[in-house]
Amino acid sequence: MNRTSTILRIAVLLGAVSFFALPFLASAYFGFTLPGRGFTFEPLMRLATGRSAFWDQLGRTLLLALCTAVVGSALLTSTLLWLHLRARKLLPIAEGLSVLPFVVPPVALVMGANLFFRSIYPGFLTHLLSLVPFYVIITMPLMYRALDSGMLALDLRTLVDAGKSLGARRLRILIQILLPNLAPAMIASSLICVAMVLGEFVMASLLLHNTFPVFLAQAGQDNPRAAAALAFLTMVGTWLLLAAVARTLHTPRRPQ
């Protein structure tokens, strides 16, 4: 490789880093300083203490993230195991359905859900946890892929046959062989799911549920410095979650 192209490549990488880092740095600086005071937690503290809805709304979002990860993992892991072992013919259909949420923007899904459930069960959408199934739907394309590739890498049939030949029953094969081997894929897909739910704003705000992103949006109207601080913490948190996903998937595993 010649020198000019090396210099150009380094320049591109440095340029990218600066562009990606600037909003991070700006939100940290703007959020954690006050004019003439230097570094301070004051804007953030004012937002999080007193009669603030902060903890309530953060708690709601964490509850939603947990429920979505649990429901999504249970539904997709059991379905995919079943399809891989018993009904391979149905795999293409299931996979086709799993990417469908890519075509339906969340705002359009809210519109449809609103029309549909208003006509059959009007009270449903007023429950906070009614968001869970829709969050499972919007996180499904990524979760499905993470779990599916985890299963493809395993050679499930051999594992099951090996377990059977050693005299293990189905439940034991599931609990002692399949699930431990699938754990990295399940953890990774759950983390992706949590990262997405922590940032989900459209459905929660339009269905009038006060979750953490809704709180953040409101805070931005009244208190831009505190909002910047929270935005910074949220972005760093999401980064850590996604870094954990990459770690879980790339750590070499010993067969169990």
Q: How far is CA 59 from CA 10, 184, 250, in A?
A: 43, 26, 31
Q: Does 234 contact other proteins by CB under 8 A?
A: yes
Return the structure tokens found at 31: 């959020």
Q: How far is CA 152 from CA 72, 80, 156, 185, in A?
A: 19, 10, 8, 11
Nearest-10 Cα torsion for 218, 221, 224, 229: 10
Instruction: Determine the size of the site formed for other proteins (CB under 8 A).
Output: 82
Among 12-20, 148-156, 165-173, 174-182, the segment contacting other proteins (CB under 8 A): 12-20
The CA radius of gyration of the chain, in Å to the nearest whole number, is: 23
Name residues contacting other proteins, limited to 48-87 (CB under 8 A).
75-76, 78-79, 82-83, 86-87
Return the structure tokens found at 28: 């940290």
Name residues contacting other proteins, limited to 105-124 (CB under 8 A).
105-117, 119
- Residue choice 42, 70, 168, 224 for contact with other proteins (CB under 8 A): 224
Asked if 77 and 143 touch (Cβ cutoff 8 Å), the reply is: no
Q: Does 185 contact other proteins by CB under 8 A?
A: no
- Residue choice 7, 104, 166, 175 for contact with other proteins (CB under 8 A): 104
Nearer to other proteins, 36 or 165 (CB): 36
Q: Does 7 contact other proteins by CB under 8 A?
A: no
Q: Give the separation between CA 235 and CA 104, rounded to whole angstroms.
A: 25
Q: Does 30 contact other proteins by CB under 8 A?
A: yes
Q: Give the separation between CA 52 and CA 49, rounded to whole angstroms.
A: 6
Among 48-56, 61-69, 151-159, 198-206, the segment contacting other proteins (CB under 8 A): 198-206
Q: Does 21 contact other proteins by CB under 8 A?
A: yes
- Residue choice 70, 94, 159, 249 for contact with other proteins (CB under 8 A): 94
